[in-house]
Amino acid sequence: MNTFLAVRARGITKSFGDVVALDGIDLDVAQGRIHGLAGPNGAGKTTLLGLLLGLAAADDGSLEILGVPVGRALAAPGGVAGFVDGPGLYPSLTARQNLAALAALRGRNARTTGIDDVLEQVGLIDVADDRARGFSLGMRQRLGLAAALLTRPRLLVLDEPSNGLDPAGTKHVHGVLTRLAAEGTAVVLSSHRMDDLEALCSDVTIIATGRVVFSGPPGKLAAENRELDYRLLTSDPRAARQLAVGIEGIRVKDEAGARHHADVLVVRALVPALDELVVRLVRAGVAVRELAPVVSPLEAAFLALTEQQEATV
């Protein structure tokens, strides 16, 4: 069965004067999936999000959104909602009034448009009658998400949706996005936070200097054959160090942070060598209490790919 593509972009280019923001971008976003967009500052992420929202038009290439070819007109395609560079809000209006004003602009009746429902979904129902000017950054982000949900979008485009959120707020927003995807909405989100992408996304596209350097499942990116630094906490740090230095392919590192925690060993290794270390620790009766990457595999791969691309420019 073919998967319906909410976004199909081929060879998209966009320049601003002499600056090439997007240079032959291809992008596929499947319906009912959360697709992450990552890249360093200035990579072209915001420009691409703007194209998806109808805020700009590509100079060249083809773009289909929800099965409809997008031309050169600046207009948001039907069924698309979201925000770039933070949501636009009326600071003197309450959260509920902001959403009512948006509903009115779209010709909808505020009484029947589901305002309280979306405020409940994003965890803002208790502050529905507070003015937006007093909202924190995280609360403004959640109100922007509520505004997007009012339209019941089939494609939701979000720029740094977890910006300013505390852990509880992040969990709340993650739950909303996961539920939307399960109900069939395609979600495209840009984020600098690799933990967001790992937790949410079935696919990730990484852009550097206006070009795609990777697109696919995060697991495929993270599983590429590269060494990583791992934190190792055991019941016998001295024995663990002795075993580690005796295994080919493992380097014990004296990290500044580890020196302040004598029980923590930092090793650099490929996964097979790390597996061998765990086997030897268990055989020696040394308990492994923690084994985790110092930097997540996705973040390490992201840094390697973007640095490599920037070095070739």
pLDDT at 255 over 60: no
- Average pLDDT of the chain, as a whole number: 86
- The structural domains of the chain, with segments of one domain joined by +, span 5-217, 228-312
**Which token pair is 244?**
């580690």
Q: What pLDDT does 170 receive? A: 86
pTM listed for this prediction = 0.79
pLDDT at position 21, please?
93
User: Is CATH 3.30.70 the classification given to domain 228-312?
Assistant: yes
Q: What percent of the chain has pLDDT over 70?
A: 88
Q: What is the pLDDT of residues 9-45, one digit of tens each?
A: 999 999 999 999 999 999 999 999 999 998 888 889 9
Question: Per-residue pLDDT tens for 171-209?
Answer: 888 999 999 999 999 999 998 888 888 888 999 999 988
User: In which band, very low, low, confident or very high, does the pLDDT at 110 lie, cut at 50, 70 and 90?
Assistant: low
Q: Which CATH architecture has domain 5-217?
A: 3-Layer(aba) Sandwich (3.40)
Fold match flag (5-217 vs 228-312): no
% of the chain beyond a pLDDT of 90: 49
